[in-house]
Amino acid sequence: LPGGAEAARNAGALLHAALIAGALEAALDMAVDYAGTRKQFGRPIGAFQAVQQQLAVCASEAAAAAVACAAAGRAADRRGLEDAGFEIGSAKVVAGEAAGTGGAIAHQVFAAIGFTDDHPLHLFTRRMWAWRNAAGAERVWARRIGEAVLARGGDALWPDLVARNEGAAP
């Protein structure tokens, strides 16, 4: 990879963040479909407000992971893998946290059946949870981001964020 070790580290993190985002989207799709077909008390469990609320949280986590990965991918396209560490690290943190919350919700919707060998949900969630630690867990990337911000100083934080949003490297 051009850029050496830093580019390789960032590539691994971006890859695993994207894998998490895709697996979470698949788990969400399964949970929504199941909630629409599984009946309890004469109606689909998806008709119950508590289940709807949990699925909404899962959907927001999946969307946040997808958006963070897309932003990191655009930053890597614009500036290269080595210079997109902030966005890639942010995507890894967001996707990792989404994996924890969203995966747990998907399993709550399915109850115990989601963990059985006969059901495919666990094929996504087990990998998703393992990918949280691959190429650095959330705490590793959060620390890297924090150290970079501290090194530039508090006065540079807002200008750096705005410059990243506009596509310029700080």
pLDDT digits (tens, 9 = 90+) for 130-170: 999 999 999 999 999 999 999 999 888 888 888 776 555 55
Question: Helices in the chain by DSSP H: which ranges?
Answer: 5-37, 49-79, 85-110, 121-131, 138-152, 154-166
Q: Report yes or no on whether pTM surpasses 0.95.
A: no
pLDDT at residue number 161: 82
Residue 43: which residues within 8 A CB-CB, separation 6 or more?
A: none
Average pLDDT over the chain reads 92
% of the chain at pLDDT higher than 90: 82
pLDDT of 154 reads 85
Q: What are the pLDDT digits (tens) for 67-110?
A: 999 999 999 999 999 999 999 999 999 999 999 999 999 999 99
Q: CA separation (Å) from 36 to 27, 58, 95, 110?
A: 14, 15, 26, 11
Confidence of residue 118 (pLDDT cuts 50, 70, 90): confident
Beta bridge partners of 40: 43
Per-residue pLDDT, averaged over 29-56, amounts to 97
- Provide the pLDDT for residue 13: 98
Stretch 44-56: mean pLDDT: 97
pLDDT over 80 at 1, yes or no: no
